[in-house]
Amino acid sequence: MAVPVLALRGVTRVFDGGAGVHAVDLEVRPGEVVALVGLNGAGKTTLLRLVLGMLRPHTGSVELDGVPLDRLPAVAWAGVGAQIEYPLAYPELDGATNLALAARLHGVPRADVGATVAAVLDELDLGRYARVLARRMSLGNRQRLGLAVALQHHPRLVVLDEPTNALDPRGILLVRAAVRRRADAGAAVLVSSHHLDEVARVADRILVIGDGRMIGTLDPHGAELERAFFALVHDDALSRAS
């Protein structure tokens, strides 16, 4: 079995008031899309921030290719692509310039930047926005631009928080195909969402988080996903109340 690209071992991070994540174990292997689903406030974004080193765990460890994040060399982050909460784009720069800067920051050789940007503009149908300032784009197009930033350098690890927010049906199809394409090429993908039907179309595994804890799994190919999801959430709430 392949060594996990991403591994969380007993990760806990608690905020004042008790919210956070608790004793989370999670692995994502090469070529795998793992979806993280839960109700609002369940801890999805906190967990992704821990994965990306934006927060530090109080206990446990987060590892990339077996190396804890606190010992990870800076150059290793060039192999990560992420979008958390808001699209990463400078509002006063156009789409192509945003992508070119991000490509260089992720280690794409200068000579390859033009081809890299052109390829992702085509892949996500953003060509018409190449010379449009990010601040003039619609919310959906800024979302696609942020996803292009995260995916264009073909990262080894992809981490996406609610990637289809604000996208129209065509945008959703484009992003779904792009994510699946990265996984089929060997990337490990962790994606959070509250759209069960959507993640089921791309995920290999679905993990359910509730109140900051992993409470179960769902079969992406199973019937009545919503019913199964709410049954897990309900049973977890009952067990904690008893």
Q: How far is CA 16 from CA 19, 20, 150, 240, in A?
A: 7, 9, 32, 20
**Beta carbons of 211 and 228 less than 8 angstroms apart:** no
Average pLDDT over residues 218-238: 91
**Beta carbons of 183 and 155 less than 8 angstroms apart:** no
Rounded Cα–Cα distance for residues 108 and 103 (Å): 5
pTM attached to this predicted model: 0.95
| DSSP 8-state secondary structure symbol assigned to residue 56 | -
Provide the pLDDT for residue 87. 87
Tell me the pLDDT tens digit for each residue of 161-203.
999 988 999 999 999 999 999 999 999 999 999 888 889 999 9
Q: How far is CA 183 from CA 6, 154, 237, in A?
A: 14, 10, 34
Strand bridging mode 188-193 / 33-37: parallel
Strand bridging mode 6-14 / 20-28: antiparallel
Q: Residue-wise over 116-137: b if at least 16 C-beta within 10 A, else e? A: bbeebbebbebeebeeebbeeb
Rounded Cα–Cα distance for residues 137 and 204 (Å): 33
Tell me the pLDDT tens digit for each residue of 62-117.
999 999 999 999 999 999 999 998 888 999 999 999 999 999 999 999 999 999 99
pLDDT of residue 153 exceeding 90, the answer is yes
Q: Domain spanning 6-195 has what CATH number?
A: 3.40.50.300
Residue extents of the structural domains in the chain: 6-195
**Beta carbons of 239 and 225 less than 8 angstroms apart:** no
